[in-house]
Structure 1
Amino acid sequence: MRVIFPFCQAQIQKPKAKEDDLRGKAFVERQAYAEALRSFFKAAQKANGGKLTQNHFAREALSSPSVVSRYLNGLRVADQKFLKQFVIAIRRLGVEISNDQEHELDELRSRARAEQIRHGERLKPIAEEMGFNVDEQNARDDPTLALQRSVNSDPYLAAFALPGIPAPHAADVLSAISDKSAATVVKIVAKYFDMDSLGDILGEIPSAQVANVLVQLDPELTVLIIARIYRDAGNEKFNSVLRALPTGYRITVQGIFEKGFE
């Protein structure tokens, strides 16, 4: 049995971002594209009795499970080659994708890619300010990927440099690299350098992305960091980050807060 999946732009819940905020717009477009891909993947799971795993789908899409996971979770922008294989795999698994829907997916991909490049161009001078030279990397058309590789190769240099540059620039760096790398840098900054700077820096980043980073840290460290977000970015940002944390982790963090302030 083939499943007709009613896909339309209105179904995509986009995070909000200011029009002039390249960082926020890059995140918004990447997440919108990922949400659209996830919607079709979930439809394929339903069409196959809930038994379709990402590992199985990766084989169908001629990709690897780790790549599929990054694309579906919006950690990377799925390229055109993957999108074509994705559509073929989804159809093979019993879900209808019309030509219009395929075109809309490609439009989402194009917008996400364009914002990623714009954000990446903004990163070049910031990376140089931090001591990284992204042009030395084998990714000249994607400064974001180049910076990711630089940070992965020397997270301590990134952590040392981050508090010394303007908070919006530091936020650009953290929001451009993977959540795992950002969590590593944040942890090093907090432990060895200037934890007080993290309130201003993280206050510049979309709350959902901040939550994705914090959830990888010990809850006790997260409490110290979001206390600084409260101090430097205000109550609204503080509550927004808390709400974005996974329920179990948020309850743990709130429990530590309550004990600490009894």
Structure 2
Amino acid sequence: MNKLIRMVIGAAFLMMSLTGCEGIFNGIAKDKVIVKKITKEPNKNEVQYEGVLSQDAVKTVSLNAVNKYYDTKLTIDEVQFGELLAVDQVKLKDLLDRVEKKYKSHPRVREMFTFKMDAEAELKKIPSGLFYVTLIHDAGFREAFDIVINASDGEVLRINHVEQSPVVYNDVISDPLMDEIHEVANRFIQEKMNEPLSQLTFDKKQIRWDYRPEVYYLSKTNQMIKYSVQVQMGTKQVAGFSKDVMALLQYYTES
């Protein structure tokens, strides 16, 4: 489990310790996808959250995301949910404030590339915070997916296939290998994210190399990190992606 997920889960558990675990989802209508204004009723000791997805909706969005981005056809009866945690905007703001302070206090040239950062703009996109979900599929072999979604509209901001296969490293980074990794990531951005490459800035220096090379893309509009795409070195397939605030946190927590 990488640093990013540890930070997100840590923030989630802090929130849960303050509000109570049951308070996150209790009382939310299960047939609603987006929960609108909730009228408080007397004699009910339940914490209500306005403008957030219901628990069932979070599970449905997570399952649909796995099927979409990994070309699977899993059903709700075939999977389990190991974790379903909420991270509110206050905890995210604290985290982004620390990241922004680090960014501004270290003007040295980054090893990969330079970019702009606007924590306030990122927070405006996630007014109700985030949900972190672990989805597990066990059919002969165990697969697990970590998913982060926008709590208000269900937009998938991160999904990661937790690999059970052996780690494959490659110490030789050749130009053909760089081109191959970039081609896989570019195709994913175009086909799965429906994002024209003409709207993004990317080049070879924006690849972080590991057993899962990670390609970063900047928005041409504001030069902020827009996406990161992880490619499994052994299979040359996309292992996961992060978007917007999660792509920013992915870069910083892995730096």
| TM norm. shorter chain > 0.5 | no
- Structure with more of its chain in strand, by fraction: 2
Which has the bigger relative contact order, CA under 8 A and spacing at least 6? 2
TM-score normalised by length of structure 2 = 0.28
